[in-house]
Structure 1
C-alpha cells in the first residue's frame, strides 16, 4: 500500500552556480533537529507533482508524489539550513536530464529565493571503514557531493584515491581531503572511461575500503572489478548506481531491483 509521506517544507534562501555544470541551492527549514552530522553526505528525497511542480495539494490520498533523490552536501543544524548540489542540464534531451526525469534539474536551475519544496528524509548511506589501510573512492558528477562529504570525514592521515568523472574541465572543485588521498579527474568526453581510469590506478598494499557511486552500467563494471578481481571484502565495499543512462529515476529504480535479484 502506498502511503503518502509526511513532507517537510524547505525554503530556498540562496542559489549559486559552483561550476559549469553544478548548482548549489541553500535551503532553510523550520526544524532540522532530527538531522545529525551523519546526514551530511546522506540523502533527502525532493517531492514533485506529476507535472514537475512542487505544489502537492492536488495529489490524491494514497498516491505518492514523484520523488528525486539528492545528497545533503552541507548541514548547518543550528541555523536549520542545508545545501544541496544539483547537476545542471543545458538541453532537454541530454542523458543527464533523462536520469533525473527533468524535474529536479529544471526546478533547481530556475529556483529563486522564497521558493519552497517538500522533502522526505533524511536517509544515510553506508560509510567507509576508517580502520582500513587505504581508501578508494569513485564518483561521477551525480555522486560528487556525496564523495566530497565522505572525503571530508576521513582521518587526516589516510591515503588512497578519489577518481571523479566530470562533464567539463571547469567542473573541477576544490575538495577538502586528506593530503595522502590523490584526486584523479576524468573528463566524460575522454576516450578513456571512468572504469578504465579506476582500473589503471596502482593497487596499494593492505586492507582497502571502497566507496563508489556512478551510472548503472559503470557500477556493474566496477563491482566486478572490486569484488571479483580485487576481492574486496563485502564489509569494506559500498558500490551503488545513482542513475541509469536513458532512464528516469523510476526506471532506474526498477533496473536496480532487478540487478540486485540477479546478483543475490
Structure 2
C-alpha cells in the first residue's frame, strides 16, 4: 500500500493546561471555543522541556482532556523525557479528539469547533464552558502539509469534518482549484467561509434530504467532464465511518491513485441501547474497550472472530446464525454458541434470530480499521508470542510460534501474504518516526549523500530523506521485493533509489558499504542478534574513509521503564530471538568496533538517534 503523498512533520507529544478565552456559536450546530494560556509557548513542566505548540496542518488534531463529570477531578497524562506521554487509566475515558479549527501563534489562541449532537462528555463540557475554565490539551503530535502538490483538491464530509475542511479551503493559495462537499443538519448551519474564486463549496442539508456521499457521487459520476478539474487530483474525506465506505470504492473507480487519497472515520454511529451510544460516542472509548477485551480468553475469541471475518460478514448482510455460517463456511451449531459468547462480550447483539453489530463490532467490520490490523496477520502472531515464552526463557532463543508451532522463518516461507502484511505494518509504524528522523539528519547529510538504509521500514525513511535532499541517493536493504519497496517512494524520487533485490534480507554486501557515504541502521537489535549487530557496525564504521553511521532505536530502561516496552522486549525474545537494546548494549556494540557516540538526539515518540564516528587513528 503506497504511502500518502502529503509530507508530514512529527512533534513530541506534549500536554498543556489552557483556559477558555471566548465562546461563540457559529451556527445552531457548531460552537467555537477559543483557548489561550502561557503554556502555548515553550516552557518547562516538572523538569521536562515542553516545546511551543505548533499547528500548521488543516486537519491537525488535539486530545481535549475533560474534567470528570461526576467528581470534577482533572487527571492528566504524565510527560516523559522521550517525547511521549503516559496515559493513566483515570484519563483514558476523559479525552476526546478534536480538529484544530484555527491557531494564531502570534496572539497565542487555539480555536476548537464543537459539533452539537445532544449529549456526551465533550458536548456537555462545551455547552457549559465559561470564560476562564481550564482544560488540558495534548498535541498536535504531527502536522501534514497542505495538499497543493496535485493539480486540484477534493474534500467531503459531514459537520464533524467541517472544521478541517473550513481551515483547508481558507488556507489554500489563491488560484488552486478545489471542490468541497459539506453536509450540515439545517440551512442555518451553512457557514460563510473566506475562500477564493478557485474554490467551490457544495452544501448538503440533511433537513432537505441531502447527503454528502450522494453529492460526491454525483460530481464524480456525472458525464460532464467540466464538473471536476483537469489533471491529477487529491481527495480527502471524513465523517461517520460507515458512510465513508462508498467513497472508498468511488475514488478507487475514479482512477485517483491511492497515495492521493485520505479517508478517515471521525466517529461511528452506535446503538442507543448500549447506554452512551449516540452520535457523540467516542471512537477512542470504543478502541479502548477492544483493547481491554484482547486479553487471555476474550482475546482468543476476539482474534478468532476477526480472522474469520465474522464482523464484516454481518455488516455485509449475513445477519442470522445460519446465514453467517454459510458466508463464513463454519459449523452452524458451533457458531451459534460462539455468537452467544460474542454477544456477552458486547461485540454483537442478538434480537430474536437477528444479529446486529455494536459500536465495537462496527469498528471491527471495517477492514481498514487499525484495530482489525492489530488483531490479525503478523500483529496477531506477535501478540500470541508470549504463549511460548517459557521455551525462550529456558534457551535464550526464539520459540516456535502460532497455532502450528513454527519458527517465524517457516511462516515467512509458507505465507507470502504474511510477509507483505508485516512489511506494510512496519512501514505504517515507520511513518510516525521517519519525518523526525530525516529532520534530525539535516545537520549531517549533504545534497550528494549516498545513504545506505538497513532495517524494517527503511523505504519510509528513504522516502523522507529523498524528499528533503533533491540530489541525494538511497539504497535500501530490505526483506521485501523491489516492487514493494519502491512503491513506498514518491514517484519523483524513485530514480534516486535502489534496493537489494527480491526480498534477500537485511544483509548488505561489501559493495553496498563501499557505495555509501552515510549508513542508517533502523532498530538493528530488532532484526539482528547482538553479535550480528556488532558485526554489521564493524563493517559499516570505516577507519579509512569519512563515513558517518547512524542508529535509530528505542532504548529500554533496565528498571522502572514502561511496561509496554518490556512486553515488546519479551515478544522479540520469544518470536525472533532479538531485543530492545539498553544503553549498555549500545555502548558495548559501539566501543567494540573502535567507535564512539558523537551525539544522541530524541526523535519522534520514544526513539533516539545515535550518531557514530570512528575513533581517530593514534
TM-score range, shorter chain: 0.7 to 0.9
3-state secondary structure, aligned to 1:189: helix
User: Residue 165 of structure 1 aligns with which residue?
Assistant: 183
Matched with 1:26 is 34
The answer to whether residue 95 in structure 2 is matched with residue 67 in structure 1 is: yes
In 2: Cα distance, 1:78 partner to 1:147 partner: 23
On the 8 A contact 1:48/1:67 being kept in 2, the answer is yes
Q: Note the alpha carbon deviations across 1:103-133, whole angstroms, 9 max, x for none.
A: 1111011100111111111134644531312
Specify which of 66, 83, 88 is matched with residue 116 of structure 2: 88
TM-score, scaled to structure 2: 0.37
Deviations 1:36-83 (A, max 9, x none): 341554111011355377632499983251210111111122222111
Compared CA separation, residues 174 and 123, structure 1 to 2 (3 A): farther
User: In the alignment, which residue of structure 2 is the partner of 1:139?
Assistant: 157
Question: Do structure 1's residue 47 and structure 2's residue 65 form an aligned pair?
Answer: yes
Q: Find the counterpart in structure 2 of residue 77 from structure 1.
A: 105
Query: 184, 195, 204: which one pairs with 1:177?
Result: 195
In the alignment, the residues of structure 2 paired with residue 169 and residue 215 of structure 1 have an alpha-carbon distance, to the nearest angstrom, of 20
Q: Within 1, Cα distance between the matches of 2:261 and 2:156?
A: 12
Q: Number of residues paired by the alignment?
A: 249
* Of 18, 24, 30, the match for 1:10: 18
Change (3 A) 1:168 1:252: farther
Deviation of the 1:251 alpha carbon: 5.2
Task: Give the equivalent residue in structure 2 for 1:259.
Answer: 367
SS at match of 1:206: coil
Asked if residue 222 in structure 1 is aligned to residue 247 in structure 2, the reply is yes
Is this contact kept in 2: 1:212–1:239, CA < 8 A?
Answer: yes
| Separation (CA, whole Å) in 2 of partners of 1:79 and 1:182 | 30
Bigger strand share: 1
Counterpart contact for 2:67–2:73, Cα < 8 Å: yes
Matched, 1:190 2:208: yes
Q: Is the 8 A contact 1:9 1:29 kept in 2?
A: yes
Greater Rg over alpha carbons, structure: 2
* 2:21–2:131 Cα contact (<8 Å) kept: yes
**RMSD (CA atoms):** 2.7
In 2, Cα distance between equivalents of 1:62 and 1:112:
27
Tell me how far 1:190 sits from its aligned partner.
3.3
- Change in CA separation of 1:218 and 1:175 when aligned onto 2, cut-off 3 Å: same
Between 24-33 and 105-114, the greater mean CA deviation after superposition? 24-33
Shift, 1:7, TM fit: 3.4
Q: Which moved more, 1:17-26 or 1:254-263?
A: 254-263
Q: Is the 8 A contact 2:235 2:260 kept in 1?
A: yes
What does the per-residue CA deviation read over 1:132-156, in whole Å, with 9 as the maximum and x for residues that have no partner?
A: 1221111211110111111122221
Give the CA deviation at 1:88: 2.2
Distance 1:251 1:77 in 2: 31
Q: 1:173 to 1:59 in 2, by over 3 A?
A: closer
Assess if the C-alpha contact under 8 Å between 2:54 and 2:140 holds in 1: no
Q: Which has the higher contact order (CA 8 A, sep 6+)?
A: 1
After superposition, the Cα gap between the structure-2 partners of 1:113 and 1:223, relative to the gap in structure 1 and judged at 3 Å, is same
In the alignment, which residue of structure 1 is the partner of 2:549? none
Instruction: Judging by fraction of residues, say which structure has more helix.
Output: 2
CA shift in 2, pair 1:52/1:130, >3 Å:
farther
8 Å Cα contact 2:241/2:266 also seen in 1: yes
Aligned partners of 2:95, 2:199: CA distance in 1, in Å? 34
Structure 1: state its 5+ residue gaps: 93-101
